Amino acid sequence: MITVRKAAERGRSHTDWLESRHTFSFAEYADPAHMGFGRLRVINDDVVAPGRGFGRHPHRDMEILSYVLDGALEHGDSMGNGSIIRPGDVQRMTAGTGVVHSERNASPETPVHFLQIWIEPEARGLSPGYEQKAFPAETTHNALRLVASRDGRDGSVTVHQDVNVYATRLDPGARVELHLVAGRRAWVQVARGEAELGGQALVTGDGASIEREAVVTLEGGVTPAEVLLFDLA
């Protein structure tokens, strides 16, 4: 069963420096019908104005992934990490017992567009941790590239939960498939472009849950697509 979550139906936050769309309930956007999907708790689609960003703020007991689409995101945290996250990079932060961090647009001239993803960890009170890896465009071109997993296999970042996260960039008409183990389910998030999921058309910002299906089939639409696929327990 495929259930589409249309982009226009998402929650919205807007300030003078931040434009954000919320697939699931977050902050002032409260939606009891969309509290998450399995252990996938947050998908925020954020555009931050040049030179602006989120000041230092705390997190705990959450696995946080950042995936940049355009621009550059500057990160700093209480663990002593400082980095720039660019398109093709995946950053994982284990908040665990507590982390304070900041995220700012690294450019004074152009916006930064990124997805921030929260996944509930398999246990509370984990030691805080940080990881960032680059996945060249050719590794996701018309292919499912594992970018996050429980065991960090195939060069993916390590997430403390039974989840596999794949990224793909699909040309029009290209096709990829993921076979789901019995009892597992999936979430698809179209970061940009157009794609078809099991024959259903999806566009930028659309998401979809997949339950009681053996195979997830994605095809490129009229325009090239960039898609994240979550394989969940």
- Is the distance from CB of 106 to CB of 73 less than 8 angstroms? yes
The side-by-side arrangement of strands in the sheet containing 175-179 is 175-179, 215-220, 194-197, 200-203
Distances (CA, A) of 80 to 99, 100, 101, 144: 10, 10, 10, 33
Give the per-residue pLDDT at 13.
Answer: 94
Q: What is the mean pLDDT of each run of 10 residues along the chain (233 residues)?
A: 98 96 96 97 98 96 98 96 97 98 97 98 97 97 98 98 98 98 97 96 98 97 98 97
Give the per-residue pLDDT at 133.
Answer: 98
Which CATH number characterizes residue 93's domain?
A: 2.60.120.10
CA count, 13 A, side-chain hemisphere, 85:
29
| Number of structural domains in the chain | 1
Strands 194-197 and 53-59, bridge-based pairing: unpaired
SS3 138: helix
SS3 140: helix
Q: Which domain holds residue 21?
A: 2-232
